Amino acid sequence: MQGCYVPKNILPPSVPLASLSVDVCTNECLLSPSNSFAAIGTNCTCLPSLDGFNLANIAECNQKCTTDGEFCGNALNTRLSVYQLLAVSIPSGITLQTTPTSTTRPSTDDNSILGTGTNVNQRRIALYISIAVVSLLLIALVIYCIRRKQKEASIPTLPRLHSSSKTRMILPNLPETSDMVYSVQTPYTPRRSDEIPLNANDVVKVGDYHPNGWGYATNVTTGTQGLIPLVTLAQNDRNGVVTIPSRD
């Protein structure tokens, strides 16, 4: 997996698939040579580049695909699992030799010579085809090994977020999880001595939280502990305006 990404604006058109998996989506995107990445959430989205995306914490892409068990974004469809496409190409430098044609009618002696040359060319064509097939098989084996290593390397080092259909919501866009680990969406500068600063993409673990929208948390990235506004952990609106609740 290339990583876990969040779109900056509106997603490009996606391809709805009946059975969503990494292999099905990447094969769909390989149909167009301009595509370089496959982004998977609730649907399959083919991308020529990642210019319209920001890298998120890989622990936020915790949703499993419906068939192969790989990661397909998150439950709220605000994060996408991005996979780089690896296209198989035919080895260069292989040319097929065809039987030459003649505009003049050969004599009886020439026919025997032409038949011998045709057999030689056919054997050469068969040899070239065999080489091409073996080369393709070797390339496919290399790609399989690379993808397997990428899958092994994509195991997150931070606790993964767990979601279910009965998830309790702390805020409208912030679900309560079993490990209460989140990534900061909006930076925050403390206003009181018992509050801690937050930078974008910091990883925090929430301990206790209050209905007024504040909670006690540990900033895993910086190692600090204190009160934070929980709205900084929720997915923001497109206008980027975040209202910090009062503690009074």
| Residue 79 CA from chain centroid, whole number | 10
pTM of the model: 0.34
Instruction: Yes or no: say if 72 and 64 are a contact pair by the CB < 8 Å rule.
Output: yes
Distance separating alpha carbons of residues 88 and 165, to the nearest angstrom: 40
Integer angstrom CA distances of residue 194 from 79, 242, 246: 32, 21, 14
SS percent in the chain: helix, strand, coil, step 5: 25, 20, 55
Judging by beta carbons within 10 Å of its beta carbon (0-12, 13-18, 19+), is residue 151 exposed, middle or buried? middle
Distance separating alpha carbons of residues 146 and 188, to the nearest angstrom: 41
The mean-pLDDT minimum among 23-27, 60-64, 233-237 falls in: 233-237
Return the amino acid letter for 173: N
**Residue labelled with tokens 């977020």:** 161
For the chain, counts of helices (H) and of strands (E): 2, 11
Does the structure show a pLDDT above 70 at 94? no
Instruction: Yes or no: say if 181 and 217 are a contact pair by the CB < 8 Å rule.
Output: no
Give the mean pLDDT of 233-248.
78
Segment 20-51, tens digit of pLDDT: 788 888 888 888 777 787 777 778 888 888 88
Judging by beta carbons within 10 Å of its beta carbon (0-12, 13-18, 19+), is residue 173 exposed, middle or buried? middle
What is the 8-class DSSP label of residue 44? E
Segment 157-166, tens digit of pLDDT: 444 444 444 6
Segment 120-167, tens digit of pLDDT: 889 899 999 999 999 999 999 999 999 988 887 765 444 444 444 466
Find, among 81, 59, 79, 60, the residue nearest to 70 by Cα: 81
Residue 223 CB contacts under 8 Å (≥ 6 apart), including other chains: none
Most confident of 1-5, 7-11, 182-186: 182-186
Distance separating alpha carbons of residues 136 and 143, to the nearest angstrom: 11
| Assigned token pair, 214 | 């504040």
Does the structure show a pLDDT above 90 at 194? yes
